[in-house]
């Protein structure tokens, strides 16, 4: 118990120290326009924006993160028309930065985000294009996994990763937007270190409530002690810790895993978060639809208790 208390003390003091380093940086508004904790879903919008926004509408949620790596005029025009038609608020453009992206322990560090030198410039350019696309749509945030950021700040790739984040964030800031860095592929303190070292005041956190668990990097409730003051977006998702060192943990429906939403949502409110809860269920077929409906009802019941 003494060790656990010491660890807790160190986590809290580390977060406080980092918050002090960032205290001179002006924060983005914690409450985007609209009702606090309004629900949304992640939706692939690049192939058929009309069908995508209709699906959001049919789920009965007012917001979405729209995923696309296609920033063409065709997608822009179709997505703009569809959001206006169905009255959907796009809270972020969700982009991978381009292929390849393999979300595994072994290939992920070699393929995802701005960490791999082989793909770094490609990703920087694509994130900038995503930002320009989002500006045309009036979308306030760009979201992505930025890679398995090295835990060791002396790692040869750490400084290159930080420089890339700085380059990307500076361009995105010029478009009046924020960057949402998704949690999971690094420990929360590693993400905080990279944000602090990049030193651009529009770098924030998208708390994926399952990924920290799926990647074995921690749990979302404790992560809020470290990066909670930077959370500007969420992915409402649940999962189980990995038990096979070669495979990620298992994603499960919300309420069936280790994320602990009955404690997470009140903690987010304590921290001043009032943005959307964006549901993500990474399976396909009829089961996905049924799970999202169940998760929507579950989250609505939890949010109702806050009022």
| Structure-model confidence comparison of residues 9 and 229, the more confident one | 229
Task: Flag whether pLDDT at 46 surpasses 70.
Answer: yes
Give the pLDDT confidence score for residue 208 in this predicted structure. 98
- pLDDT band for position 28 (cuts 50, 70, 90): very low
Q: Looking up tokens 């860095």, which residue turns up?
A: 181
In 3-state terms, what secondary structure has residue 42?
strand
Whether residue 200 lies inside any domain: the answer is yes
Task: Flag whether pLDDT at 17 surpasses 90.
Answer: no
Whether residue 255 lies inside any domain: the answer is yes
Whether residue 37 lies inside any domain: the answer is yes
Task: Flag whether pLDDT at 34 surpasses 80.
Answer: no
Whether residue 174 lies inside any domain: the answer is yes
Task: Flag whether pLDDT at 9 surpasses 80.
Answer: no
Question: What mean pLDDT comes out for the span 239-265?
Answer: 97
Distance CA 98, CA 297 (A): 34
Q: Looking up tokens 């692939």, which residue turns up?
A: 44
Which tens digit of pLDDT belongs to each residue from 58-99? 999 999 999 999 999 999 999 999 999 999 999 999 999 999
* Whether the Cβ atoms of residue 267 and residue 289 lie closer than 8 Å to each other: no
Whether residue 217 lies inside any domain: the answer is yes
Structure tokens at 280: 């993500």
**Which strand (E) or helix (H) includes residue 211?**
helix 211-214
Task: Flag whether pLDDT at 14 surpasses 60.
Answer: no
Number of domains in the chain: 1
% pLDDT > 70, the chain: 89
Q: Which domain holds residue 211?
A: 31-304
Task: Flag whether pLDDT at 157 surpasses 60.
Answer: yes
Whether residue 17 lies inside any domain: the answer is no
| Structure-model confidence comparison of residues 154 and 13, the more confident one | 154
Give the pLDDT confidence score for residue 307 in this predicted structure. 73
- pLDDT band for position 147 (cuts 50, 70, 90): very high
Give the pLDDT confidence score for residue 117 in this predicted structure. 97
Distance CA 40, CA 66 (A): 10
Whether residue 279 lies inside any domain: the answer is yes
Give the pLDDT confidence score for residue 36 in this predicted structure. 79
Distance CA 213, CA 184 (A): 7
**pTM exceeds 0.85, yes or no:** yes
Distance CA 281, CA 41 (A): 9
Whether residue 24 lies inside any domain: the answer is no
% pLDDT > 90, the chain: 87
CA distance readout (Å), 125 to 88, 93, 164: 28, 15, 10
CATH of the domain at 228: 3.20.20.150
Give the pLDDT confidence score for residue 18 in this predicted structure. 41
Q: Looking up tokens 């939403």, which residue turns up?
A: 261
């Amino acid at each position: 118990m003494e060790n656990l208390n010491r660890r807790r003390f160190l986590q809290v003091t580390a977060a406080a120290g980092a918050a002090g380093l960032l205290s001179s940086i002006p924060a983005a508004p914690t409450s985007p326009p609209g009702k606090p904790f309004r629900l949304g879903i992640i939706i692939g919008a690049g192939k058929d924006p009309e069908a995508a926004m209709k699906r959001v509408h049919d789920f009965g949620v007012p917001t979405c993160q729209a995923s696309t790596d296609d920033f063409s005029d065709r997608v822009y025009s179709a997505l703009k028309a569809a959001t206006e038609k169905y009255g959907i608020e796009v809270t972020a453009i969700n982009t991978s930065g381009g292929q390849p992206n393999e979300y595994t322990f072994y290939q992920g560090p070699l393929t995802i985000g701005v960490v791999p030198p082989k793909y770094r410039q490609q990703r920087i350019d694509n994130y900038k294009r995503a930002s320009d696309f989002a500006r045309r749509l009036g979308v306030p945030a760009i979201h992505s996994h930025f890679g398995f950021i090295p835990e060791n700040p002396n790692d040869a790739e750490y400084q290159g990763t930080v420089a890339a984040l700085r380059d990307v964030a500076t361009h995105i800031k010029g478009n009046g937007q924020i960057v949402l860095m998704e949690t999971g592929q690094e420990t929360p303190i590693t993400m905080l270190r990279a944000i602090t070292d990049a030193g651009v005041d529009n770098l924030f956190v998208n708390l994926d409530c399952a990924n920290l668990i799926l990647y074995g990097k921690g749990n979302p409730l404790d992560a809020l002690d470290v990066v909670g003051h930077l959370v500007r977006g969420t992915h409402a998702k649940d999962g189980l810790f990995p038990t096979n060192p070669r495979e990620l943990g298992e994603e499960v429906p919300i309420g069936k895993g280790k994320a602990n939403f009955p404690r997470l949502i009140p903690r987010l409110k304590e921290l001043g978060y009032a943005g959307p809860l964006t549901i993500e269920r990474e399976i396909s077929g009829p089961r996905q639809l049924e799970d999202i409906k169940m998760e929507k009802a579950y989250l609505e019941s939890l949010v109702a208790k806050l009022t």
